[in-house]
Every structure is written in structure tokens, then in C-alpha cells.
Amino acid sequence: MANEFINFDKISRKSWQELHQKTKPLLTEKELESIKSLNDNINIQDVVDVYLPLISLIQIYKKNQENLSFSKSIFLKKDVTIRPFIIGISGSVAVGKSTTSRLLQLLLSRTFKNSKVEMVTTDGFLYPNEILIERTLLDKKGFPESYDMELLLNFLDSIKNGDSAEIPVYSHEIYDIIPDHRQVIQSPDFLILEGINVFQNQQNNRLYMSDYFDLSIYIDADNKHIESWYLERFESLLELAKSDPNNYYNRFTKMSREEALLFAKNIWETINLVNLEKYIEPTRNRAELILHKSKNHKIDEIYLKK
């Protein structure tokens, strides 16, 4: 991490956890189990050490957003409009974005008791497989060109303006957009948008999704660690797919464990790692906050933009 981080304050986990007065973790061990992803190693201590200080920081940003909005409306002689607070969360495949997003959703709804906190994943904005096949992009699923970025930007624009929106839903079981299925998002107070592409700009366009965010978070880790988490997760998914012939991963259960892992390693090296190095990681310093994970999924360092 060289000069790219010149504009960030690096904070150790120990210093970070001291920034927050010790309080109850706001959720139980059982609730934490229910929201964490397959192989994500997170416990209540992590919630207290890392996520509660993060909630305190979000409260500061939220207050700042409200004050700015109020001052602007006075300056422009306009009525004050309450806009949702949008948090963008990015990082590699298998780095733990979903767990962080679900955890933040729960902690925010407990901190801001009367607030509606919605979570959306950008998987829903992938083109359906038939379109990807038509455009010979199926092997590039997750790359910038595999997303309907216009739809995604329009969605963010609607939400930022206080409107409701209907968006497609992606299923990891069928590895495709679910036909005729929609997620309805109605004027939330907080929106968490999670995905590998949330800091990228639209192809050949000057719009950045990050322009809509009030806070942006990047989850970072050494590529070697992410690879091993990806392979661990692949094995867990195979285990779950064994008895379900409709599950996308069921086809890999017919292979030997060695063959299946070799296949997954190849997917990591030719698709996910390429996407990470070429398109995801270069957007890292657009984040306001970088949570860096060590080998065992534990957040060891935090980088906060100065």
C-alpha cells in the first residue's frame, strides 16, 4: 500500500476500537450467525471492536449530510427535502461484502430505531444470462460490461430523489436473474448498496455511482487470502447443492473433489482475479473508508480518508 493511501489516515484495530465507548453489541450471537455468509469468520467481539465505532462514524456523516442539505436549501431558497443516506460497499468477490452489509443493516436499524434501512446488491443489475450469451459475455459475468449500468444509475437517482423503485432480483442458486421477480424499495432512510462494481463508472459515460453515496466503504484483503476464501466458499456451496438438482452448483458435485477445486481455481484465476486486478481494486481509493482484513477474515487495519 504505497502512495495510493497518501490521502488516508491509517488506524490500527486497537486504536479504532478505543474510539468508541464500550456498549452492548446491539445484537445476539445467534443473530450474527444468521446474517453472516457461509465461511465468514466474524464474532461478537468484532462487532464491538470494529462495527460499533463504524456506526458512530456513520452518525457523524449522517448529521453532516442533514446539515449540508438544510444549509443548501436555505441558500437556494428551496424547501428542505429529506434524502436517504446511501452507503456504497465494494470489494472483491468472496471478501465478505454481504456479511458487512447485512450487519450494518441490522446495526443501523437498531441505532436509528424509527428508520427504514434497505439493502440492495448490484447482482440484480446483471443482464440476464440469455442476454449475456447473446453478447458472448457469459464468461465475463461480473465484469463492467455485464451490468445494466443505466438501470443501476436510474435506480440510485430515483432513491436519492425520495422516490420508490422496483429492481430485478438475482439468484445464486440458479446463477441468473429470477424472471418476473422484483424487489420493491420504497423511500428508505438508509440504503446500503453492495457490489463489486459500485465505485465504477458507466461505460463511456461520465457518471459515477459513487457520486450518489454519502459514505463509501471498500473491503480489502491480500489477493491470496481472498482466493482461499473463494475456494472455501465454493466447497461450502457444493455441500449445500448436493441434494438440490436445480441448484447451479449441483453439476459440480458430479466431479471428484480435486476436479471441482481445480475448476474453481481456474475460474478464480481467469475471471475473478482478472476482474479484481483490472476493475475492482483500481477503484479502492474512491472509498471514504477501507476495512482491511487479515488472513483469518479479521479486520486488522482501517483507512479513513483525511
Average pLDDT over residues 137-146: 93
pLDDT given for residue 202 in this prediction: 66
* DSSP line for 44-68: HHHIIIIIHHHHHHHHHHHHHHHHH
- Is there a binding annotation on residue 162? no
Residues 6+ apart with CB under 8 A from 209: 88, 152, 153, 156, 193, 197, 198, 199, 200, 201
Element spanning 236, H or E:
helix 223-241
Percentage, residues of the chain above pLDDT 70: 97
pLDDT given for residue 43 in this prediction: 86
**CB contact at 8 A, 234 and 93:** no
- The pair phi, psi for residue 149, each rounded to 5°, is -65, -30
pLDDT given for residue 289 in this prediction: 98
Q: How confident is the model at residue 154 (pLDDT cuts 50, 70, 90)?
A: very high
Whether 252 shows a pLDDT value over 70: the answer reads yes
Average pLDDT over residues 154-174: 94
Between residues 22 and 87, the one the model is more confident about: 87
Which cell numbers in the block locate residue 258? 480435486
Q: Spell out the domain ranges in the chain.
A: 3-305
HSE at residue 214, side-chain half, CA atoms within 13 A, is: 24
Instruction: Report the predicted TM-score, pTM, of the whole model to 2 decimal places.
Output: 0.93
- pLDDT tens-digit readout, 202-220: 665 777 888 999 999 999 9
- Is there a binding annotation on residue 69? no
Whether 273 shows a pLDDT value over 80: the answer reads yes
Residues 6+ apart with CB under 8 A from 94: 226, 229, 230, 233, 272
- Is there a binding annotation on residue 91? yes
Between residues 41 and 210, the one the model is more confident about: 210
DSSP structural state of residue 177? E
Between residues 282 and 20, the one the model is more confident about: 282
Whether 3 shows a pLDDT value over 60: the answer reads yes
- Is there a binding annotation on residue 94? yes
- How far is it, in rounded angstroms, from Cα 153 to Cα 147? 11
* Among candidate residues 15, 8, 41, 10, the one with its CA nearest the CA of residue 228: 41
pLDDT given for residue 207 in this prediction: 79
- Is there a binding annotation on residue 97? yes
Q: Over the chain, what is the mean pLDDT?
A: 92
pLDDT given for residue 38 in this prediction: 67
**Can you tell me whether residue 219 is helix, strand or coil?**
strand
**CATH number of the domain at 3-305, please?**
3.40.50.300
Whether 143 shows a pLDDT value over 70: the answer reads yes
Whether 63 shows a pLDDT value over 60: the answer reads yes
Q: How confident is the model at residue 81 (pLDDT cuts 50, 70, 90)?
A: confident
Whether 299 shows a pLDDT value over 70: the answer reads yes
